[in-house]
Amino acid sequence: MPEQKRTARGVVGGLLGFIGLSAAAGVLVTAAVTPALAVTGITANSAIGVFDDLPEYLEITPLMEKSNIYAKDGDKNVLLASFYEQNRVEVQWDEISQYLKDAAVATEDNRYYEHGGIDLTGTLRAIVSNQLGEDTQGGSSITQQYVKNVRIQKCESDTDNKEDLAKCYDEVAGVHYSRKLKEMRYAIGLEKEYSKDEILRGYLNISGFGGVIYGVESAANYYFGTSAKDVTLAQAATIMGIVNNPNLLRIDKPDNPDNGEENGYALTKHRRDVVLKAMLAYGKITQDQFDEAIETEIEPNITKPKGGCAAAGSNAYFCDYVTKVIANNEAFGDSEAERVSTLKRGGLDIYTSLDLRLQKTEADALHAAVPSHEDGMKLGGTATSIEPGTGRVLAMVQNTAYSNDPDKGPGYTVVNYNTDKAYGGSSGFQPGSTWKTMVLVEWLLQGHSTQEIVNANLRQFNYNTCTGPSVWNRGELKNSGDGGGSPGGMFSVQKGVTQSINTVFAAMGEKLDLCDIANTAEALGAHSATGADLTHYPTTLIGTSEDTIAPLSMANAYATLAAKGMHCEPRAIDKIVKADGSEMDVPGKSCDQAIPENVAATAVQSLTQVMTQGTGRGGNPYAGPIFGKTGTTDGYKDTWLATATTEVANAVWVGNLNSSNYTHMNHKYINGQLGSQIKFGLTSEIVRKTFELYGGEQFPEADKDLTRRILKDVPDVVGQSVEEATQALKDAGFGVSVSDKQVDSTVEAGKVASTDPAGGERVNSGSTVTISVSNGKGKEVPDVVGDSYNSAKSSLKDAGFKAKKAGSCEPGGEKNDVASQDPGGGSTAAEGSTVTLTLYCGDDGDKDDD
């Protein structure tokens, strides 16, 4: 209420009403008040003493007002839900019908604009009447009633327990005269500070009208579906009639035999007619207006407010998330109780990030594919979307209906499967192969290439972690991944990403610190839904450790990659407008560069191949650039697909809510579709809508240094056993193939005679090297180049080889000298094999016959 001083006349009126403050008032007290007080046993002097000792300043605290949560539908703000202890909307003077103002004054305090805060005549009449045992009378002016309501609200705002609240109620509203004297003192002081119109507006905004309905705006909304500005005369008289005894005269109980639809709300009509008669008597309305209104039947149009998140339908879980954001954030109060109180009493208009256009698509698609309940299993399904670069939560849905009523049975819950446990969620779900993205990012952060070849054969893997060495034995690792299985081999990291090959990531982990992977995941925004530290077990490499992740957290991590490595905390609130019209600082607008842009770009380009030629193809609507990663946990308990465009990141999860005795999603048909495949259709429909609403740009190019081909020298293993040579080649990062046919060689039989590529050659890391095994029967071929043919023939014969001329000669040189030989000198060949000799033709080019 604005500070506005009263006129001189008003102050004088207040002073005259201020008993005991002046000689004149003292005479008034002696002459008028004493006889009445004598009946009650209170002397005039003691009454004056009490008055003198009372404070006259009453702090007018903000009214308890309902808070509203809004979502966006294009450019429109749409109400999702309201929260209140008192359903009140404070309105200004010009937003209140004159009918309501006149009805209040005519009925409650017809001398309101004449007295200085106390209607002395009415007060004395009430004191005497009440003391003599006659009907209890209020006798309070509108200003006094306003004072009492302000003090009652302060009790409700400041008191935490029922016992203290009862004491406070008795002090400010009990039937005893010390309270009345204090109320009178406050009323006089109040009228010094505020104008009559301001006090009347305050009274009309604070008064109760039955149940949780407070203030004339909410009363008009609730009982008649209109506003305080637009009520008819009959409606205004009804509303101001209800204030006389709100819970008795409320008109939202049509089955009430004493005051219901059947008898035309008889009690309320009687009181309404009293109001109308008073308005006529005091010249507030004409006879014609009176006649028309008195004949009007009471016909409520009950318009219930959207109280609580349950009223938000398929948007209820997002609504619940917003309330938990408020309850958990110190910006709304020092304790959780204060924050909840702020929500229910603060009159906040909370404008959220929810896009109802995308929300509807996700809700319709999810509910069509995943029923709220499936016999024989505890089925869950979620979809949540985040805006990269801001963290704004654009959509959040799940398959169940929002309710904590246990009598409704399965398919209803208030647990939000999308969020962390601290925000009303479950404990999260195993992420499966969606977690491999975290391994890929750490791989790139350490300078490795997506084209690097790793030994992805089923074998024992050895790791270093911040907690010490760790081993993953061959028998403990399945190589199915999301790609349907792989026999293992020497594979590039990119192939492992595209086809989701478990052993590729197991091999990548050997060159990384598993603790660093956990730190990188958290930097991207993926953390444990329970608040626990992420683990460092080898199984984290494929997302099947004990870590459980909320879908919102997973979507946030993929949004970080889409935002060029910029991580923003998820935020659901765009703007908050307080009851006084000012804006409140919105918490949670923090962003930081989690990883370098080149690493993010390279990871994104790698993951695009998952969606175009890998395990995520089924979820690609081919409407624009997209990257993502599928995920499946052991036994197909959980199925995931996390995706992102440049504008929207999304995570879809469908699976079992229980961690034991669960249903294998790859063996379960749900609504005619195999459970393990539901994620693809859902994602495709959601992503198609995001492109329609938000568009999407091309992703930045990958860093060439992080996609380079890695060249390595082939080790020289000639003369080693096949086993030794194979191990040496694998340790160097090469694949190995052993030729089935032994070759002639001077090397000991059974040992490596040669490799292809040969030792010392520089080739792609991970290339396959073929081993040729010696049969021990080879002989070294003499070098006869430059010898005469006859001499060469003799040397070869002596060494156990045959000689043969080539069919043509080489121009130049000495005629019949050897120009070249095959096999060459120093090479190995079988004894008795033929060496072909090419001779020089001589200057004339003549050929020499054999």
Please count the other Cβ atoms lying within 10 Å of the Cβ belonging to residue 464.
Answer: 15
**For strand 768-773 and strand 735-738, is the pairing parallel, antiparallel, or unpaired?**
parallel
Read off the tokens for 509. Answer: 């982990």
In whole angstroms, give the CA distance from residue 171 to residue 173: 6
Read off the tokens for 356. Answer: 């109802």
Q: Which of 761, 756, 806 is nearest to 785 (CA)?
A: 806
In whole angstroms, give the CA distance from residue 687 to residue 646: 12
Q: What is the distance, to the nearest Å, from the Cα of residue 26 to the centroid of all Cα atoms in its chain?
A: 67
In whole angstroms, give the CA distance from residue 127 to residue 722: 114
In whole angstroms, give the CA distance from residue 710 to residue 811: 44
Q: Which of 54, 57, 21, 60 is nearest to 182 (CA)?
A: 54
In whole angstroms, give the CA distance from residue 352 to residue 124: 54
Q: Which of 418, 692, 452, 687 is nearest to 562 (CA)?
A: 687
Sheet holding 834-839, edge to edge: 802-805, 834-839, 818-822
Read off the tokens for 255. Answer: 């089955």
Placement of tokens 């060949």 in the chain = 829
Measure Cα distances from 619 to 64, 611, 675, 705 in Å: 49, 7, 14, 30
* Radius of gyration over every alpha carbon of the chain, rounded to an integer in angstroms: 44
CA angle 200, 202, 204 (to 5 degrees): 70
Tell me whether the omega of the peptide bond preceding residue 254 falls within 30 degrees of 0, making it cis: no
CA angle 777, 781, 782 (to 5 degrees): 145
pLDDT averaged per 10 residues, the chain (length 850):
42 40 36 39 48 62 88 95 89 96 95 88 63 55 91 80 83 76 87 93 94 94 96 97 95 96 96 97 97 97 87 94 94 88 91 98 96 93 98 97 86 95 92 97 96 88 87 73 65 95 94 95 97 93 93 98 97 94 85 97 98 97 98 94 98 94 93 95 97 97 93 92 93 87 90 93 85 91 94 93 92 91 89 92 56
In whole angstroms, give the CA distance from residue 655 to residue 663: 8
Helices (H) and strands (E) in the chain, counts: 27, 30
Q: What is the pLDDT of residue 451?
A: 94
In whole angstroms, give the CA distance from residue 433 to residue 633: 8
What are the strands, taking DSSP E only, across 581-663? 583-584, 591-593, 627-632, 638-644, 649-656
- DSSP string over 508-533: HHTTSBHHHHHHHHHHHT--BTTSPP
Q: Which residues contact 538 (CB under 8 A, 6 or more apart)?
A: 461, 463, 470, 471, 472, 506, 509, 514
**For strand 412-413 and strand 401-402, is the pairing parallel, antiparallel, or unpaired?**
parallel
Read off the tokens for 213. Answer: 């309905």
Read off the tokens for 693. Answer: 């609403």
Judge contact between 799 and 779, C-beta under 8 A.
Answer: yes
Q: Which of 339, 95, 368, 413 is nearest to 228 (CA)?
A: 95
Per DSSP, the three-state class of 423 is helix
**For strand 778-780 and strand 828-830, is the pairing parallel, antiparallel, or unpaired?**
antiparallel
pTM of the entire predicted model: 0.76
Four-CA torsion 661, 666, 671, 673, nearest 10 degrees: 180
Q: Which of 707, 694, 686 is nearest to 605 (CA)?
A: 707
Element (H, E) at 657: none
Four-CA torsion 783, 786, 788, 791, nearest 10 degrees: -30
Q: What is the pLDDT of residue 732?
A: 87
Q: What is the pLDDT of residue 518?
A: 96
Judge contact between 118 and 81, C-beta under 8 A.
Answer: no
Tell me whether the omega of the peptide bond preceding residue 570 falls within 30 degrees of 0, making it cis: no
What is the dihedral sign for C-alpha 443, 446, 452, 457?
negative
Residue 755: what are its φ and ψ, rounded to 5°?
-130, 155
Judge contact between 609 and 497, C-beta under 8 A.
Answer: yes
Beta bridge partners of residue 346, listed in sequence order:
65
Three state DSSP letters for 703-768: CHHHCCCCEEECCCCCCCEHHHHHHHHHHCCCEEEECCCCECCCCCCCEEEEEECCCCCEEECCCE
CA angle 807, 812, 817 (to 5 degrees): 65
- How many angstroms separate the most distant Cα atoms in the chain? 161
Element (H, E) at 70: strand 67-73
Q: Which of 485, 496, 627 is nearest to 560 (CA)?
A: 627
